[in-house]
Amino acid sequence: DQQVKQNSPSLSVQEGRISILNCDYTNSMFDYFLWYKKYPAEGPTFLISISSIKDKNEDGRFTVFLNKSAKHLSLHIVPSQPGDSAVYFCAASAMNRDDKIIFGKGTRLHILP
Amino acid sequence: DAGVTQSPTHLIKTRGQQVTLRCSPISGHKSVSWYQQVLGQGPQFIFQYYEKEERGRGNFPDRFSARQFPNYSSELNVNALLLGDSALYLCASSLWTGANQPQHFGDGTRLSIL
């Protein structure tokens, strides 16, 4: 039972354009959401997070949008750079219940020259 | 500052054997979590320890156990290994518990079961 779904296994974007990675969740108890980035042979690296009391959080080139009614969040990367090529994991947690972080399967982003 | 370190980096075992994986958190971090990442999937939560006590457990059989030491390092033990235990095992540390504490991951231990 996938509680966090990343339905696009891969995405290719031209360098300099916007990359949009999508994530859906099913558990309405989730109240904290995170994005991690993973390069091959390395552990995931925290990118950005958002609490359910917000609908947008921005950090430099990275912006996360949360639509609670649709149980959907997205990560926008503008402008996309070659170093952004990696696997991106969406994750969620029900902080009021426990500290478990549930990850999606990931989306592989390819930035094309 | 050293990041999260895991040892060994690679390990090959046979079915039925036992394995111990080790993790040293970032200095000052008191919480350690373990994850299993099977090929093509995201990391799946196994355990979280904080101040040497288990704070959370994922949906894994009792063959999986862990502990945290006074210096906050941690070990993950898996008994009676099965082929399906082949995976990348990731350790993550954070200052304390709470999903809003960014977790810092190690590079993982790649476990292969023959």
Q: How does pLDDT run across B42-89, given as a tens digit for each residue?
A: 999 999 999 999 998 999 999 999 999 999 999 999 999 999 999 999
Q: DSSP letter for B22, please.
A: E
| Pick among A34, A101, A108 to test the B interface (most B CBs inside 10 A) | A101
pLDDT in tens, A25-36: 999 999 999 999
Phi, psi dihedral angles at A84 (to 5 degrees): -80, -10
- Considering CB atoms only, which of B43, B98, B103 is closest to A95? B98
CB contact under 8 A, B107 and A98: no
| pLDDT confidence bin for B114, thresholds 50/70/90 | very high
Q: What is the pLDDT of residue B2?
A: 76
User: What pLDDT is attached to residue A85?
Assistant: 98
Q: What was the pLDDT predicted at B102?
A: 85
Q: In chain B, what residues touch A44 (CB-CB under 8 Å)?
A: 43, 90, 105
Given a cut of 90, whether residue B100 has pLDDT beyond it is no
CB contact under 8 A, B43 and A103: yes
* CA dist A99 → A4, A75, A94 (Å): 15, 22, 7
pLDDT score at B1: 61
Q: Residue B99's pLDDT is what?
A: 78
> For chain B, what is the total number of helices (H) and then of strands (E)?
0, 11
- The arithmetic mean of pLDDT across residues A88-112, rounded, is 90
Furthest CA-CA distance within chain B: 38
- pLDDT at residue A49 greater than cutoff 90: yes
What pLDDT, in 10s, does the model give residues A2-17? 899 999 999 999 999 9
d(CA A63, CA A18): 11
Looking at beta carbons, which residues of chain B come within 8 Å of A49? Answer: 100, 102
> What is the distance between the alpha carbons of residues A105 and A103, in angstroms, rounded to a whole number?
7
At A41 the pLDDT is 87
CB-based contact A9:A104 (threshold 8 Å): no
Least Cα distance to A104 among A22, A48, A43, A29 occurs for A22
Q: Which residue has the higher pLDDT, A111 or A97?
A: A111
**Cα–Cα distance measured from residue B52 to residue B54, given in angstroms and rounded to the nearest whole number:** 7
Residues with Cβ within 8 Å of residue B110, at least 6 apart in sequence:
B9, B10, B11, B88
A37 neighbors B102 (Cβ within 8 angstroms) = no
Q: Per-residue pLDDT averaged across A68-79, rounded?
A: 97
Is residue B93 over pLDDT 90? yes
In this prediction, residue B46 carries a pLDDT of 96
CA distance B89 to chain A (A): 10
pLDDT of residue A14: 97
